[in-house]
Amino acid sequence: MTKLLLLLAFTSAFMVLSASAGNVVCYFASWTIYRPDNGKYTALDVDPNLCTHILYAFVGLGEDGSVRVLDDWELTGLDEMNHLMSLKEQNPNLKIILSMGGWNEGSQKYSAVAASPGLRQAMVQSVLAFVDQYGFDGFDLDWEYPCQRGGVDEDKATPLNEKGLILSAAVSGGIASCELSYDIPGVSENLDMINVMVYDFHGAFESFVGHYAPLYASSLDATDEQKTLNVAAGIEYWLDQGADPKKINIGLGTYGRGFALADPNNSSLYAATYGGSEAGPYTRAMGVIGYNEVCELYSSWEYTWDDEQQVPHIQNGNQWLGYDDEKSIQLKVEYANSKGLGGAMVWSLDTDDFRNVVCYFASWTIYRPDNGKFTALDVDPNLCTHILYAFVGLREDGTVSVLDDWELTGLDEMNHLMSLKEQNPNLKIILSMGGWNEGSYKYSQVARNANTRAAMVQAVLDFIDLYGFDGFDLDWEYPCQRGGEDIDKVR
């Protein structure tokens, strides 16, 4: 089976969108400031030139119609709203929009406020005052969802309508949900942008495998409803029901959803599962993984491309993750352009590879057939700040092992990779040792002995000097596991 080439740089997707003069609408999730280590993401980490619109997610709604700040620390020191506004000093054309709602807010109080003329007016005045206080350029309502989760049928007949501001809404991309929730011609008439959430079609809330955001249906979809759980079906439903295509932004996710397979040997669509995949170190939620976590942790998992659904997934044992890579994002952007859509909405900035674009080059991908073949000379030298050559191995005596004999007798991919620096002198190319297939035992054995540790250090230094690498990355998977020893963590 093939393995993951994670040249995952969502920056490239943003550039494609920008080149087509479309909207690039990005959600900023305010709670990610509390994530640990490299997962922490603040307003000051946002690239002010990456998006055309940034939506601050979220404020809430009080039962009296007032705007409610969901994090008390925002008012007493974090000041992320003002930090977000400061990005406009670097990009005066950037639009920053206040987003109210989200899944955790529910639907009942939104329905109650919408049903009362007095409360609607109170909400309008409160939103206008809040927008004016912080200098937001508009308002986005992420009501999940009208007529559901405690809402009433009259919800879709009471749309909010602001004047003088950008008004947008995040709406479902699931057809069954849309039929319950939206007066689509009315929504289109009253909004400037419609952010269609064509993702989360499948996830650990189900007991079978399914990609969270397939572009198209699969021949394995057995029911009429299953055949609608994809990006194209969701977008085309909105268009067929009368939405203005120029107001629609196709939803793209910078995260994936995963499962624990009941049988690791059966990973096909609709295969049985028994829960979500293991939590990542930053998002810390079973069944959900950010692309920053994929970049760091899962570069050696087995990769599969679904030709029907036009999306990839990766697998390691009983762990299965569906996500979007550069290829599938490109296809979704091309689809959006073919439908004449206004642009794309991205959820969300914090799970992109925001700590710089660090990309693994998987040396074995030169052996893939046809269009899957990928060589060092196919790498865009301006896409990443750092490229890691994956992988060399470790011998039991501590010396470096080149895992592919053909590399030494003709392929010469390391030198080809180094030649990219002629086009981008700032590019850093790093030698990566390890990966899943290397196991853990010999790393543990080398680490336990001072002589083999010293031999490894010298061998790595010599290898780096021979080829001109800029550094060294150790991908030991994992200390204290898979034949390692408990003391590995302190070695």
The count of structural domains within the chain is 2
- How high is the mean pLDDT of the chain? 81
For residue 66, what are its two tokens? 């007032």
What's the whole-number mean pLDDT along residues 256-276? 97
Q: 144 an active-site residue?
A: yes
Range of the domain at 169: 10-253+323-351
Same domain, 390 and 249: no
CB atoms within 10 A of CB 240: 10
Say how far apart CA 456 and CA 393 lie, in whole Å.
11
Cβ–Cβ under 8 Å, residues 145 and 177: yes
Same domain, 60 and 85: yes
Residue 260 falls inside a structural domain: no
Q: What is the pLDDT of residues 179-231, one digit of tens each?
A: 877 889 988 988 888 889 899 999 999 999 999 999 999 999 999 999 999 99
Residue 290 falls inside a structural domain: no
pLDDT number for residue 155: 44
Same domain, 455 and 346: no
Q: What is the CATH number of the domain that holds 16?
A: 3.20.20.80
Same domain, 330 and 372: no
Say how far apart CA 199 and CA 394 lie, in whole Å.
41
pLDDT number for residue 253: 87
Q: What is the pLDDT of residues 351-378, one digit of tens each?
A: 654 444 445 566 666 765 655 566 788 7
- What's the pLDDT band for 438 if we cut at 50, 70, 90? confident
Final residue of a structural domain among 334, 351, 368? 351
- What's the pLDDT band for 5 if we cut at 50, 70, 90? very low
Residue 82 falls inside a structural domain: yes
Residues of the chain with pLDDT > 90, as a percent, come to: 34
Same domain, 363 and 336: no
| Type of residue found at 3 | K
Say how far apart CA 231 and CA 137 lie, in whole Å.
29
Nearest CA-CA partner of 371 in 413, 331, 327: 327
Say how far apart CA 472 and CA 394 lie, in whole Å.
13
Residue 265 falls inside a structural domain: no
Q: What is the pLDDT of residues 12-38, one digit of tens each?
A: 444 444 444 478 888 898 888 888 777
Same domain, 334 and 452: no
The contacts found for 404-411 with CB under 8 angstroms, 24 or more apart, are 404/363, 404/364, 407/363, 411/366
Same domain, 341 and 362: no
pLDDT number for residue 369: 62
Same domain, 345 and 364: no
Say how far apart CA 394 and CA 402 lie, in whole Å.
9
Residue 286 falls inside a structural domain: no
Catalytic residue among 80, 105, 144, 477: 144
What's the whole-number mean pLDDT along residues 35-49? 83
Same domain, 332 and 385: no
Say how far apart CA 451 and CA 55 lie, in whole Å.
55
Residue 274 falls inside a structural domain: no
